Amino acid sequence: MQSKFKGGLLPYILLLPTLIILVVFLYYPALNTFRLSLFRKPIRVGAPLRFVGLNNFISLFESASYRNSVTITLEIAFAVVVIGMGLSLAIAVMAVQPVRGAAIYRTLLIWPYALSPAIAGAIFLAILNPQSGLINYVFDTLFGFRPDWLGDPKLAPWAIIAASVWKNLGFNVLFYMAGLQNIPGDVQEAAAIDGANAWERFWLVRFPLLSPITFFLLITNLTYSFFEIFGMVDILTGGGPVQATNIMIFKLYVDAFENHKTGPAAAQSIVLFLLVIGLTLIQFRTTGRRVHYGA
Amino acid sequence: MTKRLLVLGVLVAVLALPIANSVAQEGENIQITFWHAFGGGRMLFIERMVEDFNYTHPGIEVQVEYKGSYRETLNAAILAAEQGNAPHVVQIFEVGTQLALDTGIFIPAEDIVGENVDLLMLDDIIAPVRNYYTVNGKLNSFPWNSSNPILYYNRDMFEAAGLDPDNPPMTFEDVEEVCQTFRETGVAEACITWPLHSWFFEQWMAEQGALLADNDNGRAGRATEVYLDGDAARRIFEWWTGLYADGYYVYSGSLEDWDGANAIFISQQVPMLITSTSDVNFMQNAANENGFAIGTSYIPVPADVERNGVIIGGASLWLTADHPQEELDAALEFVLWMGNTENAVRWHKGTGYFPVRNSAVWVLEQQNWFETHPLYRAAFDQLLETQVNSATAGAILGPFLEIRTMIEEAIQSVMVEGVSVDEALANLDEMADEAVAEYNAGVEE
């Protein structure tokens, strides 16, 4: 039974703290970003903003370095989402098997998620150090050479991808495990009786039943790979070498807070925002339609 | 009921806290904030100096904060000023000078002392330092930590390779030759490192007497164009990237990674390091701990070009304007104290930054300091022998931070992406010109 509040005001008062936080930290800055993207901020602190119309956007798309940044962002995001989700599904399938000490494995798998991106980045920085890192110790012992993971423009994006996938693995595995545990045993048994082998049982029965989880993870991983891997880039490569990992969120940070180009940075923020919204809408229109809810 | 009382109690306590704090502060010392860019050993040194100041200056309390790199410190100060919350004293690196002036948040040193210009003891500041920080005919900031790059070398490795440890290489060509010897004798495969930092490029431009920008390096008027694709720049790029291609020059892989270069030298992977003289103290300790002897010398220059000398590097202290008079006075007292003769001597000995006052040099000479501590000498002699001209005065550019990154990426693009030197320089010059134009458009004249 649904209970009702007396009077119209109380619910709004109860909602007020949340609304205040949303307005102050989300809506106001977002609206301000839209406004700033049409202005240039003079170097002199406190001087009035100068209206430039859409010039910030026009010069963005004329800039080769910005177009490069968009391409790199899409490439890295694609790899992080596909590799991250594929890997975690595989791990989750293995981790839900009834094995000895399963609880311990499962806990350990989720751990990386508890770290902040900065800490995870620092760990990878140490591991990937070309001279003293663990990975190159192994590489040197096995193959006799030491790749420059963070200094080579071909390898650096992969270092970012690997670190970002690892960092988010726990989150993905957690949801996939929960999803897998919710699949009723009888459907699988029925499939087995019908003669489906393990491979078919997975792809024809379990995977479709996981589709709500997969869809949810697709959206969260997308936002993760566009926004949250900032910390990795900041710590590991600083956008380099030669802009090879200069993803959009990092570039806009540098332009806003290091180069003092507030207007162009706001414009970049809008472009990024629209890009992610667009991708998410496409997901809802396409993949979203194929999602199966309920067994 | 008790629960409700408890909640009420907590609420009252929380609300009362700030009031209690502000009451406690009344009638207390004048609080001054000081932001600087030094971590590690130097941070501890600065904290000790600030403690001394607070101890000897009743009524003033300086609060010191480490804000990250030079870039981060300057940017943090500008952002804080935008929010009306600027620190009183900020340490700003030399290439931030033009930007600092253009933001308008600082008060020039000569303006704050007004008629008491004696306080600055202008004639006591060593000439190259005073020249660097004098823009528009005014000393704008309080010189504090000044440095230039020197060559550090591992004397033991020189001896092992059969080289004379009293004659380190002086030219670009010498370096290549020495590197070859190190490799042939099996002492070291790679032979030299320095951070992939634009600062070294700028120094080598000055050594060749080349300007970085028009209008006398931006000192006769605002710079409108950079000179980054001339012969001087090409010589540096070709030598630097050539050493890398031969495997003689190594670096950590990251830009502006001072610690990474130091680590390669300290672990004796290479016999030579070019870095700031401000690391003399640190490097001497590190060499002792790792059981080898070091020497210091001038940085190498191209053999066929006359040695012009080096630019003042390092940073100075700036005062922000937007504070009550009594706080400005206290801040002034603090920066004058930080740069006085006594502290200039102490700071030099504790780091390797050279003394910025003639009186401090005199004190050090009376103590026979340079004779007994020859490692500290190279940077100082290198500076004294520097010719006074627009090239060695150093450029001041508004978007210098952005251009530094461009220079570093241009060098990196030749090294790791196989871009030709000519193409890299042409791109660099064009991009930097655009940055200057865009910046200048954003300055209110």
Asked if B416's CB is within 8 angstroms of A151's CB, the reply is: yes
Q: What is the pTM of this model?
A: 0.86
Please report the pLDDT score of residue A144 as a whole number: 84
* Least CB–CB distance from A45: residue in B103, B255, B439: B103
For chain B, give every domain's residue range: 30-147+312-375, 149-310+385-441
How many beta-carbon pairs below 8 A join chains A and B? 80
User: Contacts of residue A257 in chain B, CB cutoff 8 Å?
Assistant: 75, 79
Asked if B105's CB is within 8 angstroms of A242's CB, the reply is: no
β-strand partners of B171: B301
The radius of gyration of chain A's CA atoms, rounded to the nearest angstrom, is 24
Please report the pLDDT score of residue B326 as a whole number: 93
Residue of B nearest to A260 (CA): B75
Q: Average pLDDT in the A111-131 region? A: 86
For the segment B61-81, what is each residue's pLDDT rounded down to a tens digit? 999 999 999 989 999 999 999
pLDDT of A5 > 70? The answer is: no
Band the pLDDT of A288: cuts 50, 70, 90: confident
Interface of A with B in 119-138 (CB under 8 A): 129-132
B30-147+312-375 matches B149-310+385-441 in fold: yes
β-strand partners of B36: B66
What distances in angstroms separate CA A247 from CA A68, A157, A226, A251, one per listed residue? 9, 10, 8, 6
Strands B249-250 and B192-193: parallel
Please report the pLDDT score of residue A199 as a whole number: 87
Please report the pLDDT score of residue A112 as a whole number: 83
Best CA proximity match to A207, nearest among A183, A186, A191:
A183
Indicate the class that CATH gives domain B30-147+312-375: alpha beta
Interface of A with B in 97-116 (CB under 8 A): none
The B-side interface with A (CB below 8 A) comprises 71, 75, 78-79, 81-82, 99, 102-105, 251-255, 263-264, 267, 269, 398-399, 401-402, 409, 412-413, 416-417, 438-439, 441-444
Q: Which of A49, A154, A242 to mutate to test the interface with B (most CBs of B within 10 A)?
A: A242
Phi, psi of B325 (to 5 degrees): -55, -40
CATH of B149-310+385-441, one of 3.40.190.10, 3.30.450.40, 3.40.228.10, 3.40.50.300: 3.40.190.10
For the segment B397-424, what is each residue's pLDDT rounded down to a tens digit? 999 999 999 999 999 999 998 999 999 9
User: Contacts of residue A129 in chain B, CB cutoff 8 Å?
Assistant: 252
Asked if B102's CB is within 8 angstroms of A241's CB, the reply is: no
Q: How far apart are CA B309 and CA B299, in angstroms?
A: 10
Q: How far apart are CA B37 and CA B74, in angstroms?
A: 9
**Which domains are seen in chain A, by residue range?**
50-290 (1.10.3720.10)
Report the mean per-residue pLDDT for chain B: 90
Residue of B nearest to A125 (CA): B254
Asked if B409's CB is within 8 angstroms of A44's CB, the reply is: no
pLDDT: is A99 or B153 the higher one?
B153
Please report the pLDDT score of residue B377 as a whole number: 87
Please report the pLDDT score of residue A107 as a whole number: 84
User: Contacts of residue A241 in chain B, CB cutoff 8 Å?
Assistant: 253, 409, 412, 416
Q: Does A265 touch chain B (CB under 8 A)?
A: no
Element (H, E) at B80: helix B70-82
For the segment B76-104, what is each residue's pLDDT rounded down to a tens digit? 999 999 999 999 999 999 999 999 999 99
Q: What is the 8-class DSSP label of residue B246?
A: T
Contact yes or no for A246/A240 (Cβ under 8 A)? yes
Q: How far apart are CA A89 and CA A79, in angstroms?
A: 15
